Structure formats: C-alpha cells, structure tokens
Amino acid sequence: MIDPALDAASDQIRSAETVIPMVKAFFDEATFIASYMVWDAGTNRAAIIDSALDYDHASGRTATVAADRIVAYVTDNGG
C-alpha cells in the first residue's frame, strides 16, 4: 500500500539540511531563573526562552535587569 502523504514527508526529511541550533544560557542569581537564547546561525532567526522579570519581594517592585542583559547580548552580537 502506497501512502502519498507519507512518501512526500519522507522525501522532505531526506532532502532537509541538518541544522544545529546555537544555545546561550543566562542565569539570573537574583531570581534563580535560567533563560536561553536559541538561534540558527545560518538564518540568524532566534527565540528567547524563559526571560526573567526581576521582582523584589520586599518592595514589590519589578525591573528588567535580567532581560536587559539578554537584549545587550543580542545587540552586541549583530541582532
């Protein structure tokens, strides 16, 4: 039995290029959160995973220090 959709999917998989994503981890000690930037060096497409919003429990205030660190990394590296 021949399945045209399965054959087409198999052809796509066989002809696809292997892409190895680049990963940069950022650990924020104040929030104890690890954030990640994952990107494809060939296309420069990227995603930020689990960006942290700084929160001070005592004052109830928020800040963007951890997120700004990721933005600075992207900016400094051609983003």
pLDDT digits (tens, 9 = 90+) for 54-78: 888 899 999 999 999 999 998 998 7
Residue 45 CB contacts under 8 Å (≥ 6 apart), including other chains:
39
Per-residue model confidence (pLDDT) at position 16:
77
Is residue 66 within 8 A of residue 31, CB to CB? The reply is yes
> What pLDDT shows up at residue 17?
75
Task: Report pTM.
Answer: 0.67
Measured CA to CA, the distance from residue 67 to residue 64 in angstroms comes to: 5
The pLDDT confidence band at residue 79, using thresholds 50, 70 and 90, is low
**pLDDT tens by residue, 13-69:** 888 777 788 999 999 887 888 999 999 888 888 999 998 888 888 999 999 999 999
